[in-house]
Amino acid sequence: MGGIVPPILNKLKKVRLDRFLSNAGIGSRKEVKLFIKKGKVSVNGQLIKNPSYQIDLQVDIVCFDDKPVLLKNNYYFMFNKPSGYITAIEDKNFPTVMEFFSSLPFYRRLFPVGRLDIDTEGLLIVTDDGMFAHRVSHPKWGVEKEYYAVVKGNIKNIDYTKYEITGIKLKDYQTKPFKIKLISTDDKKSEITITVKEGKYHIVKKIMEKLGHPVMYLKRIRIGSLLLDENLSPGEYRELTEEEIKHLKQVVNL
């Protein structure tokens, strides 16, 4: 069987099909039992509807929705999100970022880490590691998210350095401290980077609106130590390197 056998299974040779699938990240034990009964799972090309079917980890090939299930521990992708896509697993009205991952040659239950608005572009991590996703997006861990933004008007005359200490009071929410750097400005618009430590809904747009300079264009360029790879065009992704994963995990104590 391809991939690395996770520690939880590596002492076993034979294992129940439902246990194998839940350990491979397909779903909870209850969910995978339903998937098996619905006929989504085959072993060596044969449809298996019995959750207690014993599979041999060394030789059997298990497929979910016709794609082989690999036993690598977790996957981490860097995705350059294009505008026009919703950061969700499914949506009734709009295409989702997950559509870009449907051509992967194997099945994993992947999901996006945090959320970018439909019109925001740039760095999005997509993974199947729930704890990692939770910590990277939770304000408690304070992982920095840096955005490149084009905003309306000339921001030269605002003293934005004070917000590095105080944050700003929005209508219903006090933000954590954030940092703005001015790249260029003219009378009509300014180019900035803004670094926040939280993933609240529309946080950058709300901050800039409050400062009187609404966002015209927004792109995330960094999450913690991870910079958006300039070789990735919008809509493209690549796996994170071991080094990139290690640095991100260090920050969130994993």
Tell me whether residue 151 is exposed, middle or buried, using C-beta atoms within 10 angstroms of its C-beta: 0 to 12, 13 to 18, 19 or more. buried
Which residue in the block uniquely carries the two structure tokens 């790249």? 183
Report, as residue numbers or ranges, the catalytic residues.
117
Min. distance of Cβ 27 from ligand URA in angstroms? 28
* Terminal C-alpha separation, the chain: 28
Work out how close the CB of 221 gets to ligand URA at its nearest, in angstroms, rounded to a whole number.
12
Binds ligand URA by CB under 6 A, chosen from 203, 223, 248, 252: 203
Indicate which single residue of 32, 36, 116, 151 sits in contact with ligand URA (rule: CB under 6 A): 116
By C-alpha distance, which of 243, 195, 192, 242 is closest to 223? 195
User: CA-CA distance, 127 to 30, in Å (whole number)?
Assistant: 22
Question: The dihedral of CA 137, 168, 195, 141: what is its sign?
Answer: negative
Q: Does 144 bind ligand URA (CB under 6 A)?
A: no
Q: Which of 61, 183 has the CB closer to ligand URA? A: 183
Under rule CB under 6 A, residue 209 binds ligand URA: no
Contact between 120 and ligand URA by CB under 6 A: the answer reads yes
Amino acid at 39: G
Shortest spacing between CB 231 and ligand URA, in angstroms? 22
Nearer to ligand URA, 30 or 201 (CB): 201
Torsions phi, psi of 122, nearest 5? 105, -155
Query: Can you give the binding site for ligand URA, defined by CB under 6 A?
Result: 116-117, 120, 202-205, 218
